[in-house]
Chain A
Amino acid sequence: MSDMTNPDEVVTHARVRLLDLPSSAGKMALITIDNDRDHTRPTTFGPGGMASLDAALDQVAIGVTGKPFIFAVGADLSAIGSVTDREIISQFGQMGHNVFRRLGEMDVPTFAFVNGAAMGGGTELALHCDYRTMSWGAAAMSLPEVFLGLIPGWGGAWLLPNLIGPANALEVIIANPMQQNKQLKPKDALRLGVVDALFESADFLEQSIRWAADVVNASIVVPRPEPDRESWETIVGIARTMLDDRIHGATPAPYRALDLVSAARTTSRDEGFTAEDEALADLVMGDDLRASLYSFDLVQKRAKKPVGVPDKSLARPVTKVGVVGAGLMASQLALLFAKRLQVPVVMTDLDAERVGKGLEFVRADLAGQVTKGRLSQDKANRLSALVTGSTDKAAFSDADFVIEAVFENLAVKKQVFAEVEAIVSDTCILATNTSSLSVTDMAADLAHPERVVGFHFFNPVALMPLLEIARAEQTDDATVATAFSVGKSLKKSCVLVKDAPAFVVNRLLTRYMGEVIKAVDEGTDIAVADRSVDPLGLPMSPFNLMRLVGPAVAFHVSETMHAAYPERFHVSENMRNIVAAGKTAIWMKQDDGTYIVDPEIAAMLVQGDSPLTEEQVRTRAADALADEARRMLDEGVVAEAQDIDLCMLLGAGWPFWLGGITPYLDRSGAAERAAGRRFLAPGVASVPQ
């Protein structure tokens, strides 16, 4: 590709109309940015769009607004993944600066009327204007670049801190993007000073233009307090410490953004914009960004169109759901099914007390949501009435979908399915939430094994977006199609996996944890082992993950996996002892807030005499992940490496910059070292060579 010209660009047009401001304030040129699609294809800027806006700016007084529901959502990134020439990216950044900055450097006042969603370059376009109004109805505003591995490169990193000060700017530029890409609501944008005034959507543009007339007439004066430049570096320093604690330097984008905000304290506009161009080009030419774009594509597209799924026309309607069990997991499932499918859900358990407890969980959760204003009382009443309990599985007789969430024991689960099968219709789906048992074995003795499917949620069920749907040996297409249809209705991202021990996420996590624990068993200091994967920037360290899962559960899974693959999955005697001692965490918080290894654990630890360095542990862990991932592909656990990555992104919360995991394994050399070859061709989730 020789320049940024993109034959597939959905060109955004900047349309200018001259209009009379109220109160005889004069004429305004109002620019509408619109790509001639409806709001489901939001407005983006590519080279064609920039040229159109550039031409539109050859005017006098300027207002800029968007098509219905959308202001603009930033750069058209569709072509970036294939850019091989740094110079092209520099030019792309410069082009945006050169056009957008005209709005901030006019002799006449310029206004952005943010009528709808504004993200990235769209927000930057607004920031270049002298004044900004925003509709109460606008869905969101953000600078999500850091979330994607970029920096606000069309002026945002310099303009925003100079407008609202470094603390507020860092919230928008770094903190929000790193918090699941949190968006600003209009009231947040006003509070932070990103916009100057909010108007209701019913007559947003009219009131904005009236307000603009008052600004032009100077009957409204918008305060522009100079940010405090004394405390600037202190604030940046605090942010840097928080960032280090969180991601340990794992990926460059947030640090480059931080550097730009820091420099904005003293740099001129020209210097600031040039620094953005440099940072943007550096990041675009780095593998972290390419992996992030790959990740973004997976969660945006592949997660919505799962691969290898039978035609949805085969799916059967689900009008009543049964949940076997009324424990915590079962209660969460009952709540989710009732909420999303809005059909009757019945929970069963061994005695009335357990059933009552499960129902109480559901009622309390609904009541809490009513209190928080997230649910109306009427809706809560409806959902509450949908969820019932029984000690008799006969309540399942007219259910179309029964899921079990009982104790993780094959014999128990087989018994449950046998009992349910005696009651339900021949086509009722029997789903299991097992995390590591064989679904095929579970179905083996049933009259209709073809209706059994694995339906593996992640905890907490309401929040975690991933659902692994496991196809057992005899599962038929209609059952898989129904499971995916139900999963979609539950608003989960579903990935089809083969019925193999621990499916995808838990298998990889268990293998990786096994390597870290083995290093400790061999003599590595716990602190060294726990820090070993810091440079990946995972959401938590290995032993913090163990605390979240619970050492007992983690150990149980390691044993199960060891039984399946004894040569690869490590069972630690130290872990056995820790679990036996009833310990729930390795790390113990001290009075001064720092952590030490629980002294009792330290005392019981039996270690070898071959300590490893952090780097050695990390290499082992990465190699183990590469080995396991390759085996999973060879076994056909999932269709492609992309599915493994999607699972790790959504099920383990592993970061975009790792691409899930296989792009990291490729670029770190682990893939070739441990599995003999890459997972993805160069360029798919890395800079093409």
Chain B
Amino acid sequence: MTASVRPGGLLPSLGAVVARTAAEVVYVDGVRTPFGRAGSAFAETRADDLVVRVFREVLRRNPGLPPGRIDDVAVAATTQMGDQGMTIGRSAALLAGIPNSVPGYSVDRMCAGAMTAVTTLSSAIMAGAYDVALAGGVENMSRHPMGEGMDPNPRFLAERIVDVDALIMGNTAENLHDRFPQLTKDRADAFALGSQQKTAHAYAEGWIQPDLVPVATRSAELGWGMLSADEAPRPATTLEGLGALKTPFRAHGRVTAGNSSGLNDGATAALLASEAVANELGLQKKMRMVGFAFAGVEPEVMGVGPVPSTEKALARAGMTIADIDLFEINEAFAVQVLAFLDHFGIDDDDSRVNPMGGAIAVGHPLASSGIRLMTYLARDFERNPSARYGITTMCIGLGMGGTVIWENVNYAGSKA
């Protein structure tokens, strides 16, 4: 299959440069650990052990894939130290029992780490270098608090390369409220409430659980436990409750713990394959990659990153926002989602956006979240066969955004 099946094609100029056909990339399957609250269920669980659990489960769920057929493993972590260091893509694969003939590497693009693992591996599949790849992301923020070991170059501030706020994510969110005054705290709180409610609804409907990998949790104090559902959601959230929360980043500010994602622990994994090899092995296909883009913005308003990355991805795919039926956007902060929605003229409560809720409710273990979005989108597609295209997008520290456009493999014709 070639890229020509979709509007604009994959890389329109490729055929003119080399006599090579880009392979289609399919999202075979994705799973994740339940996300824990930092300092809670996974506080004594190693990050590499979390990756091991999701790797083993995604392989167990896809027995048609001989593990030796995996051409590469990429795992993202933001803080690549200790149990998240040591080239975790390789070390976790070995720990998971994947044959040592399968190589691996590590990826870091902060919050978009897993997304970058997917796009980088997919690029290799498209180029024909790989047939099958395993992507993952992990962040155990209990063990690796944000900014652990960070040593910013003094030139950043001395030469005003970035604003002083750029390294404190909450401040960048406050800055976004400043830039877009129409994005009020009330709108942010309302969106946050929606995220909690949609998450509760998705749990009640059993949409989320099928892709969760229950993980045994070690606690020296309490004994072994088992986390089989996300720890962070607060289904009892109310607008009144949200309104009463403190604004820790700024006196009388707008960003609260309630309209932001929390500090979380978790891991994700996804299997990717060229469509031809997926067919050969009889693997399931949940989504087909259409294209992707990353883009940069001013670091002090990093939350707006998804706007240019989405525009770029759409343009390169020859698509417009009107072609997109479903949106999985990471909710690092409510204001950052709202900035995206406002830009594209989408309502705050549009049912196409984060239909199963998002990071404000389930949490955001930094580098793992990109695949969480994709796994959600695959479920969204499954429930909505009339939806053809969807995007996963997220903002990234130091002023970036990333967007991947996906096609619903089960697309059943035009919308009713």
Interface residues of A (CB under 8 A from B): 14-17, 19-20, 22, 30-32, 34, 36, 65, 67-68, 200, 202-203, 205-206, 209-210
CA distance A14 to B57 in the complex (A): 30
Query: Which A residues are CB-close (under 8 A) to B213?
Result: 206
Query: Which B residues are CB-close (under 8 A) to A31?
Result: 223
Enumerate B194-219 residues with CB–CB distance to A below 8 Å: 213-216, 218-219
What distance in Å separates the Cβ of B44 from its nearest Cβ neighbour in chain A? Answer: 10
Q: Is there a chain A Cβ closer than 8 Å to B228's Cβ?
A: yes
Known: A22-B214, A209-B216. A203 touches B224 (CB 8 A): no
Q: Is the CB of A36 within 8 A of B220?
A: yes
Q: Is there a chain A Cβ closer than 8 Å to B225's Cβ?
A: yes
Q: Is the CB of B218 within 8 A of A19?
A: no
Q: Is there a chain A Cβ closer than 8 Å to B190's Cβ?
A: no
Q: Is the CB of B53 within 8 A of A203?
A: yes
What distance in Å separates the Cβ of A57 from its nearest Cβ neighbour in chain B? Answer: 14
CA distance A206 to B45 in the complex (A): 14
Known: A34-B220, A202-B52, A203-B53. A19 touches B225 (CB 8 A): yes
What distance in Å separates the Cβ of B202 from its nearest Cβ neighbour in chain A? Answer: 18
CA distance A20 to B215 in the complex (A): 11
What distance in Å separates the Cβ of A38 from its nearest Cβ neighbour in chain B? Answer: 10
Counting from the closest, the 10 A-B pairs by CB-CB distance are: A15-B223, A32-B223, A205-B216, A19-B226, A17-B225, A32-B224, A202-B52, A17-B223, A206-B216, A203-B53
Query: Which B residues are CB-close (under 8 A) to A17?
Result: 219, 222-226
Enumerate B59-118 residues with CB–CB distance to A below 8 Å: 95-97
Q: Is the CB of A202 within 8 A of B56?
A: yes
What distance in Å separates the Cβ of B205 from its nearest Cβ neighbour in chain A? Answer: 15
Query: Which A residues are CB-close (under 8 A) to B222?
Result: 15, 17
Query: Which A residues are CB-close (under 8 A) to B97?
Result: 200, 202
Residue of A nearest to B218 (CB): A68
Q: Select B52's contact among A22, A65, A203, beta carbons within 8 Å.
A: A203
CA distance A203 to B56 in the complex (A): 8
CA distance A210 to B223 in the complex (A): 18
Chain B binding surface, main DSSP class: loop
Interchain residue pairs with CB less than 8 A apart (19)? A14-B223, A15-B222, A22-B214, A30-B225, A30-B226, A31-B223, A34-B223, A65-B224, A67-B220, A200-B97, A202-B56, A202-B97, A203-B52, A203-B56, A205-B216, A206-B213, A206-B215, A209-B226, A210-B214
Give the B interface residue count (CB, 8 A).
21
Query: Which A residues are CB-close (under 8 A) to B218?
Result: 68
What distance in Å separates the Cβ of A327 from its nearest Cβ neighbour in chain B? Answer: 42
Query: Which A residues are CB-close (under 8 A) to B221?
Result: 15
Query: Which A residues are CB-close (under 8 A) to B53?
Result: 202-203, 206
CA distance A16 to B226 in the complex (A): 12
Known: A206-B215, A206-B216. A20 touches B226 (CB 8 A): yes
Query: Which B residues are CB-close (under 8 A) to A205?
Result: 216, 224, 226
Q: Is the CB of B56 within 8 A of A30?
A: no
Known: A20-B228, A200-B97, A202-B95. A30 touches B223 (CB 8 A): yes
What distance in Å separates the Cβ of B233 from its nearest Cβ neighbour in chain A? Answer: 16
What distance in Å separates the Cβ of A19 from its nearest Cβ neighbour in chain B? Answer: 4
Residue of A nearest to B96 (CB): A202
Residue among A20, A206, A209 having the largest count of chain B Cβ atoms under 10 Å: A206
Residue of A nearest to B224 (CB): A32
What distance in Å separates the Cβ of A103 from its nearest Cβ neighbour in chain B? Answer: 16
Query: Which B residues are CB-close (under 8 A) to A20?
Result: 226, 228
CA distance A22 to B52 in the complex (A): 19
CA distance A36 to B220 in the complex (A): 7
CA distance A67 to B221 in the complex (A): 11
Residue of B nearest to A29 (CB): B223
Query: Which B residues are CB-close (under 8 A) to A32?
Result: 223-224
What distance in Å separates the Cβ of B217 from its nearest Cβ neighbour in chain A? Answer: 9
Residue among B96, B218, B226 having the largest count of chain A Cβ atoms under 10 Å: B226
CA distance A377 to B53 in the complex (A): 33
Query: Which A residues are CB-close (under 8 A) to B223?
Result: 14-17, 30-32, 34
What distance in Å separates the Cβ of A283 from its nearest Cβ neighbour in chain B? Answer: 34
Residue among A31, A34, A200 having the largest count of chain B Cβ atoms under 10 Å: A34
CA distance A14 to B219 in the complex (A): 12
